[in-house]
Amino acid sequence: MQYGYFDNEKREYVIDNVALPYSWTNYLVVEDMAAVINHMAGGYLFYKTPEYHRISRFRGNGVPMDRPGFYVYIRDNEKKDYHSISWQPVAKDLSKAKYRCRHGLSYTVYESEYDGLASSQTMVIPRGENVLLWDVKVKNITDAVRNLSLFTYMEFSFHHIMIDNQNFQMSLYCAGSSYEDGIIEEDLFYEEKGYQYLTANFTPDGYDCVREKFLGVYGTEDHPAGLERGTLEGSTELGGNHCGSLQKNFKLQPGEEARFVIMLGEGNREEGRRIRVKYSDLKRVDAVYTDLAAYWKQKYAALQIQTPNEGMNTLINTWTLYQSEINVMFEGC
């Protein structure tokens, strides 16, 4: 069975049959910040080392596989129906929705078309900054005005893989979350300068910092309580499990497109403010892609081989070189 194809012009692997039997993973890294992210937006973010400086939590070998991740939900507030831009976690029927994942050079794009909405979510880490950008676009392709809400969801790590997975009588008391000025901050109590943040280029209409408040005690990422209600509860806590969920209500006229930028990074609230100011300028977001394209173009210019076999050319000239460079970048991890 064919699940996708190589786009040699864009140097991407395009997955248009997203129901893969196993994860197809990309590595977004050029400097100190790195994301391991798969075709369903599952994965994790870390700073310098995935053992000691994890920013987001990930459960390896879990069921369903590759949870949690970096999820964006779109809710139609009149129909009370919602979907995720990536196929998982909501997993709409593939006969009623279209999904695509495009793994590129240090970026990944999720695309969906469902119920008259065409959406994309591009994940990228700018060179020179310790932040993961979620560049989201939502377009109304119907003739009706749409009353919508966007929700983000990710789960904060306790900064150390062992603390994330063991000795919960200690770890559930080792971090606190707070919200101020549109920024969610996780404070790691056992580290003097241990902070992580989530913010966006919009003023949120709601937020949740506590995982159980967003998901519900018996809820999951598939059908979170916050999406079922259509509102978030404004939760924070000293202790417990912490998440980053921001809500933005908006309307789209027929043919109109909205763009949102979510920012997940290492640092305290002041660092979040600085990053928010910088990347609320969409020209600076666009410049991130231009800069990364130039970076990889220079890398590839060092070696390009032509053989009579197109598949061999694709393997050698793009993906073997990319894999080799990623291995070098991850050497110390």
Full 3-state SS string of 98-121: EEEEEEECCEEEEEEEECCEEEEE
Q: Report which residue type is found at 102.
A: R
Given this model, what pLDDT does residue 166 score? Answer: 79
Please state the domain extents for the chain.
4-329
* Contact by Cβ (8 Å): 109, 90: no
Topology (CATH) of 4-329: Beta-galactosidase; Chain A, domain 5 (2.70.98)
Given this model, what pLDDT does residue 332 score? Answer: 56
Residue-wise pLDDT tens for the chain (333 aa)?
Answer: 699 999 999 999 999 999 999 999 999 999 999 999 999 999 999 999 888 899 999 988 888 888 999 999 999 999 999 999 999 999 999 999 999 999 999 999 999 999 999 999 999 999 999 999 999 999 999 999 999 999 999 999 998 888 888 778 777 888 999 999 999 999 999 887 899 999 999 999 999 999 999 999 999 999 999 999 999 999 999 999 999 999 999 999 999 999 999 999 999 999 999 999 999 999 999 999 999 999 999 999 999 999 999 999 999 999 999 999 998 887 755
Long-range CB contacts for residues 218-221, cutoff 8 Å, separation at least 24: 220/89, 221/67, 221/68, 221/71, 221/88, 221/89, 221/153
**Residue 216 backbone zone (phi > 0: left; psi -120 to 50: alpha; other: beta):** left
**Pairing relationship of beta strands 183-188 and 175-180 according to DSSP bridges:** antiparallel
CA 11, CA 104: separation in Å to the nearest integer?
Answer: 6
User: Radius of gyration (Cα) for the chain, nearest Å?
Assistant: 20
Within 193-241, strands assigned E span 195-200, 206-210, 237-238
pTM: 0.96
